[in-house]
Amino acid sequence: MCVTDVVSASKATTDAHDEAPAATEVLAPIDGAPAEGGTPPLAWAPVEPKPKKKRLGLWIGLGLGVLALGAGAASAILIAPGTTVAGIPVGWLTPGAAADAITSHLADTEVTLTGAGDDTVLTGADLGASIDAAAMADKAFAEHPMWNLGAWMGEPVAAEISLDPETADRALRAAVPTSFDDPVNAGVVFDAASGTFVIVPGEDGTAIDVDDLTAAIADAVADGGKTLEFPGGPAEALPAVTDDDATTTAGTLNTMLGTVGFYVGAERTVPVAPAVAASWLTVVDDDGQLRIDADPQTIQATIDTLPGLVNRAPTNATKVVDSDGNVLREETAGVNGRTLGDTSDAADDFAAQLEAGEGVFELEVAEVPFETTNLVRHIDVNLSSQRATLYENGAVVESWLISSGLDATPTPTGNFTVFAHTEIQDMVGEDYVTKDVQWNTWFATDIAFHGAYWHNNFGNQMSHGCVNMPVSVAKYVFDWAPVGVSVAVHW
């Protein structure tokens, strides 16, 4: 490298924006002094700063990068182009903006009522038009996000448009009052003559059909429109409660009338007459739905009578037994008594049942058990006194004069047991036939207590061995002494 080049380079021009170089310093000669007439000492040029790099390409690259990032971010929050909800365009919009657009489009849609409507114009807002805009916008974004190029210009997102019935009816009536003649709902009333519930037929009316109007608006919006025409003239309006509806309700009530009452188990202990039950019930038209309404206060009047109709004392059982306690016959069947339980909530509870179509109300009762009395019976026949005496549990029940066998045909003595009964038969012996002898109670071979219609000489021996009695007395013994009752015959 040439030294003079280095020295001359100190005069080079620097970048106008750089600072001026520092003054050149002269190196001291060796030993402190320059040689006379010699070459001037060398001076080192200052180091020049590096020139600044041109960054234009970087800034262009950054700009394109920002644009690319922005487009990518937008594609992540926007709905794809060409997307519609119920026919309303929502492409290039965020879900929130799409929901607003859907709502606004529907509210601004105009309906011209032709004919009797005299071209009156109502908006979707006037008619209470609505759609679940937020949900549909979210669905549109979920199914058609902008970042998914395959979702662009995709299938429309279906959505249901509805009109608020009350708002639409009010607006239409105000616009075309002549098109409205309200139908009359069918009803149900009680007919006292037949004792049944019967229907009151409904009557048709006229109106502008809100369902048809809703469908027309939906079709217009689906085709991309915001205006449509719809007939303002009257269309048939059917009752909300039809004759069939009323017939069904009447059938429920009449079925209930056949079973209505207060039950103890399966027994309808306190039946309720149809007219009484009907006085508890009213059929109410509840906004086009028939329902049964029952009045607890009216029911309470019947509840108050229940103790006297339900409570009963037990019926004690009586049984004829022999001396060993074996049952010979049940004289009286035992029946438990009962006492009505708490009925403080019965009226309200029954009212709720009746409103549900159930007429069987089960009562709570406490059972009172019956008691059993055993009757030990026997008959004593005293041949000496010609008297028969009936005993029950050791006490005399009845005693009568009788006629026992003559000496030639004596009544056998001993202890016997009743073994059979015959209401009427002929008595036949070796030398006699007695016809139609009644109330025969047999206690020994060919020997019985029976009625004797052919004599009235009781207290004296008269028979061929049987014990003769007045007919009425023989009937009493026949009924009183079942098979197994003991009989003692003695002198």
d(CA 263, CA 268): 4
Q: What percent of the chain has pLDDT over 70?
A: 85
Q: Residue 256 CB: number of other CB atoms within 10 A? A: 21
Which DSSP category does 115 fall into?
G
Does residue 31 surpass a pLDDT of 60? no
Angle, CA 70 vertex, CA 66 and CA 74 arms, to 5° = 175
C-alpha distances in Å from residue 103, one per residue of 57, 86, 112: 47, 11, 20
Residue 252 Ramachandran class (φ > 0 left, ψ -120 to 50 alpha, else beta): alpha
Q: Give the CATH number of domain 258-368; options: 2.40.50, 3.30.110, 3.10.20, 3.40.50.
A: 3.10.20
Please write the tens of the pLDDT for every residue from 49-92: 555 444 444 433 434 343 344 445 667 899 999 999 999 999 99
Q: Are strands 196-200 and 187-191 parallel, antiparallel or unpaired?
A: antiparallel
C-alpha distances in Å from residue 342, one per residue of 269, 303, 304, 306, 391: 16, 11, 12, 11, 47
Q: Are strands 360-362 and 261-264 parallel, antiparallel or unpaired?
A: parallel
Q: Are strands 433-444 and 447-451 parallel, antiparallel or unpaired?
A: antiparallel
DSSP string across 321-351: E-TT--EEEEEE--B-EEEE---TTHHHHHH
| Per-residue pLDDT, 76 | 83
d(CA 253, CA 247): 10
| Per-residue pLDDT, 73 | 65
Query: Span 333-359, mean pLDDT?
Result: 97
Average predicted confidence (pLDDT) for the chain: 88
Q: What is the pTM of this model?
A: 0.60
Side-chain half-sphere of 475: how many Cα atoms within 13 Å?
4
Residue in this structure with the two tokens 């229940």, named with its chain if needed: 306
Dihedral angle sign, alpha carbons of residues 378, 438, 419, 457: positive
With 0-12 CB in 10 A as exposed, 13-18 as middle and 19+ as buried, what is 42?
exposed
pLDDT bucket at 318, cuts 50 / 70 / 90: very high
| Per-residue pLDDT, 16 | 36
Strand partners, 422: 440
Residue in this structure with the two tokens 């079709």, named with its chain if needed: 219
Please write the tens of the pLDDT for every residue from 147-188: 999 989 989 999 999 999 999 999 999 999 999 999 999 999
Query: Span 195-204, mean pLDDT?
Result: 97
Tell me which fold the domain 375-490 belongs to. Answer: L,D-transpeptidase catalytic domain-like (2.40.440)
* Fold match, 258-368 / 375-490: no
Distance of CA 202 to the CA centre of its chain: 28
d(CA 290, CA 283): 7
| Per-residue pLDDT, 75 | 73
d(CA 113, CA 120): 5
Tokens of 59: 């800034």
Query: Span 13-39, mean pLDDT?
Result: 40
| Per-residue pLDDT, 50 | 54
d(CA 320, CA 326): 8
Please name which of 461, 448, 457 lies closest in space to residue 421, comparing C-alpha atoms. Answer: 448
| Per-residue pLDDT, 60 | 38
| Per-residue pLDDT, 187 | 97
d(CA 109, CA 218): 10
Please write the tens of the pLDDT for every residue from 319-332: 999 999 999 999 99
- Structural domain boundaries of the chain? 77-239, 258-368, 375-490
